[in-house]
Amino acid sequence: MKSSASSHGSNDTLRDFTADRRLWVLCAMALVTGTFGAFAAWVLLKLIALVTNLAYYHVLSTHTSYLSHAHLAPSSILIPVLGGLIVGLIARYGSDKIRGHGIPEALEAILIGQSRIQPKVALWKPLSSAIAIGTGGPFGAEGPIIMTGGALGSLFAQFFKLSAAERKTLLAAGAAAGMTAIFGTPVAAVLLAIEIMLFEWKPRSFVPVVISAVVAIAWRPWLVGAWPLFAHTGAPLMPWWGLAVCALVGVIAGLQSALTTGALYWVEELYEKLPMHWMWWPALGGIVVGIGGLFDPAALGVGYDNIQALISGNVLMHAALALLVVKSIIWVVALASGTSGGTLAPLLMMGGAVGVLEAHVLPFGGSGFWALIAMAAVLGGTLRCPLTATVFAVELTGDLRVMPAVIVACAASFAVTVLLMRRSILTERLARRGRHLTYEYTVDPFEVMRVRDIMAHPVHTLVASLSMRDTLAFFEAEPGVKRHRSYPVVDDAGRVVGMVSRSEVLRWSREGWQDEETLGERLGTPEVFVGHPDDRVGELADRMIAADVGRVPIVERTSGVLVGLVARRDLLRVRAHAGQLERERSQLMSFY
């Protein structure tokens, strides 16, 4: 096949990417969304600390406090119940978009809302999340800040004349900035936007998201603190078979991911059977959270101190088991209730706790190392983002040496969850609302195949010198003789002079024609809609849709001679051909 340059010559306008000068506009706007995301993260963390200190320590302070070593009285059960009640009221009378962990809601806004998020979401989401987490909710701040940062990016975009795709870019940029400010992981935040939120790989979206994340990481030392957030230096020297053990840890993490996701939506179905309004569900979930806090206070709140302890290898086996059981139960029950909170930190803790337990039977490495590997694997399997999880683990700890082990575990976990579960914890919620997503990025066959690959040839034609009487006789053939609806009309040299359809000929017969008038004379010299063999199929399909044309003659670019014909049904074969390449298997070489 000739290259497009040799085929098109001076007509070649194809490029690797479709970016234009609008990219610079989005890059400039990304500087603003990055700042918005960073400050929104700072506000959210301060709000969480304020609520935590008020609810559990009865002091007015924004100093970060954890509940791991708090001594809770039985009356403390009422704290998450009250928090859940307030969140339920906000959801009902403020905005029901605050319910859940944020990412599915952002996806829904991108897919069906043209990336428009209401201003009240940017207000109520961080406030409700701070109340839910500060009163003991077992959630992280990253899901809410992804929604809040995305909302701020969307609101900023709505003040300008932008397309839905450009608003989507700024929404994702704000979300990535928020995640970066919380965790200090700009590369992982960019990958999260690509793997989960953008549904595309284009410079128009990639470059602004990077800029926004970089701006957020520049603000972070001033607002949140230095990074890495959870330093780790305990990567062991692995034997040659060590990566196989990492894969085994990944498989277990995949099973844990599937079990956790299944339990979450099973409990959600139980809530839906309750004879009460969903506004009261978070308060019911708060009862379970409060009781769980009596057994293990470490399971309450964001618990970033627990993540640091797990990675540092400072969590004993019985403490890890208690954290795993209590955190899993209260997180599933609370999140299923529709309260506001994130998923990343809880998944890291639950995965890390399993890693600590596994470390007691694995042949090498300390509990901190295996906690980190299991954390990343659970995150990658549950959210279906193995690349994000891998880079996230490296950036979160600042330890590049763990990357081979992490990516093996994440890939294994990802493979298990993909095979066991039809959808992820993010997309299952959307599917229950009637929205199906697919995250497989493939090259569009319409953009790869050329018209020559699908056109019909040889082509049945009518000659321009054919009399109108004979033309009518051709279309009024005896029953059983198959005729197309339309045919190309060619001159003596085989060049296309027009298209004629049966309906046109019948209309002309009613109107009448002159004796011995030919088909070519009747057609005159119309502008003929044609394609060329070296055109991209997608380009021709777009032109056919715009012109509402069902059959297109294909002519040589230089001579104009007819060489083929493309109909709408030929376009449908493009998808069939791509599917055939996926399904059909053949052995091209033999061992004998």
Q: In whole angstroms, give the CA distance from residue 573 to residue 397.
A: 50
pLDDT band at 52 (very low <50, low <70, confident <90, very high): very high
Find the mean pLDDT for residues 397-411.
Answer: 95
Instruction: Select the more confidently predicted residue: 481 or 549.
Output: 549
Q: How far is CA 507 from the centre of its chain?
A: 52
Q: What is the CB-side half-sphere exposure of residue 556 using CA atoms within 13 A?
A: 9
Q: Which pLDDT score, from 0 to 100, does residue 1 have? A: 32
Question: 242-431 is classed in which CATH architecture?
Answer: Orthogonal Bundle (1.10)
Position with higher pLDDT, 438 vs 93: 93
pLDDT at 5: 38
- DSSP class per residue in 119-154: HHHHHHHHHHHHHHHHTT---BSHHHHHHHHHHHHH
Superfamily per CATH, domain 22-223: Clc chloride channel (1.10.3080.10)
- Is the link from the previous residue into 363 a cis peptide, with omega within 30 of 0? no
For 187-213, letters b (16+ CB in 10 Å) and e give bbbbbbbbbbbbbeeeebbbbbbbbbb
Q: Which residue has the higher pLDDT, 583 or 154?
A: 154
| DSSP SS3 for 65 | coil
Alpha-carbon distance 25 to 568, whole Å? 38
In whole angstroms, what is the distance from residue 191 CA to residue 229 CA? Answer: 18
The pLDDT tens digits for 367-378 are 999 999 999 999
Write down the mean pLDDT value for the chain: 89
> Distance between CA atoms of 20 and 384, rounded to whole angstroms?
32
- Residue ranges, comma separated, of all CATH 3.10.580.10 domains in the chain are 445-580
Residue 4 has pLDDT above 50, yes or no: no
Give the C-alpha separation, 542 to 487, whole Å.
Answer: 21
What are the residue ranges of helices labelled H in 3-137?
4-8, 22-52, 78-93, 103-112, 119-134
According to CATH, the superfamily of the domain at 445-580 is: CBS-domain (3.10.580.10)
CA neighbor of 152 nearest in space, from 180, 178, 133: 178
Give the whole-angstrom CA distance, residue 486 versus residue 567.
Answer: 10
Q: Per-residue pLDDT averaged across 67-78, rounded?
A: 92
pLDDT in the model for residue 7: 42
- pLDDT at position 383 is 92
Question: Is the model's pLDDT at 254 over the cut of 80?
Answer: yes
Q: ∠ at Cα 65 (59, 67), nearest 5°?
A: 105
Region of 498 (left: φ > 0; alpha: ψ -120 to 50; beta: rest) is: left
Question: Which of 109-118, 564-573, 583-592 shows the lowest mean pLDDT across its residues?
Answer: 583-592
**What confidence tens digit (pLDDT) does each residue in 10-29 have?**
456 667 777 888 999 999 99
Measured distance between the N- and C-terminal CA atoms of the chain, rounded to whole angstroms: 32
* pLDDT reading at 3 higher than 50: no
Helix (H, G, I), strand (E, B) or coil at 328: helix
How far apart are alpha carbons 118 and 482 in whole angstroms? 58
Q: Is there a contact between 313 and 236 (Cβ–Cβ < 8 Å)?
A: no
Residue 350 near residue 324, CB atoms below 8 Å? yes
Nearest to 134, CA basis, from 228, 188, 56: 56
Task: Using DSSP, state whether 339 is helix, strand or coil.
Answer: coil
Most confident of 220-234, 354-368, 513-527: 354-368
Task: Say if CB 322 and CB 296 are below 8 A apart.
Answer: yes
| Other residues' Cβ atoms within 10 Å of the Cβ of residue 543 | 14
Q: What is the mean pLDDT of residues 142-163?
A: 90
With a cut of 90, say whether residue 212 has pLDDT above it: yes
Which CB contacts under 8 angstroms, 24+ apart, belong to 190-193?
Answer: 191/385, 191/387, 191/388, 191/391, 191/392, 192/385, 192/388, 192/392
Confidence of residue 350 (pLDDT cuts 50, 70, 90): very high
Q: Tokens for 558, please give them.
A: 């230089």
Q: Is pLDDT at 432 greater than 80 in this prediction?
A: no
Residue 444 tokens, joined: 């569009």
* pLDDT band at 480; cut points 50, 70, 90: low
Who contacts 14 (Cβ-Cβ below 8 Å, separation ≥6)? Answer: 4, 8, 536
Average pLDDT over residues 60-84: 93
What is the per-residue pLDDT for 6? 38
The rounded distance, in Å, linking the Cα atoms of 228 and 307 is: 13
CATH 1.10.3080.10 region(s) of the chain?
22-223, 242-431
**Of 9 and 499, the one with more pLDDT:** 499
- Give pLDDT, residue 341: 84
| pLDDT at residue 478, as a whole number | 66
Does 86 score more than 90 pLDDT? Answer: yes
Residue with tokens 């809601």: 105
Residue 278 identity: W
This prediction has a pTM of 0.84
Instruction: State both tokens at 7.
Output: 């085929």
Query: Would you say 404 and 373 are in contact if contact means Cβ atoms under 8 Å apart?
Result: no
Percent of the chain's residues with pLDDT above 90: 57
Q: What is the mean pLDDT of residues 217-239?
A: 88
Amino acid at 463: V
Q: 264-279: per-residue pLDDT in tens?
A: 999 999 999 999 999 9
Note the pLDDT of residue 14: 67
Q: For residue 342, what are the β-bridge partners?
A: 140
In 193-343, alpha helices (H): 203-223, 242-272, 281-295, 304-312, 317-336
Confidence check: pLDDT of 428 > 50? yes
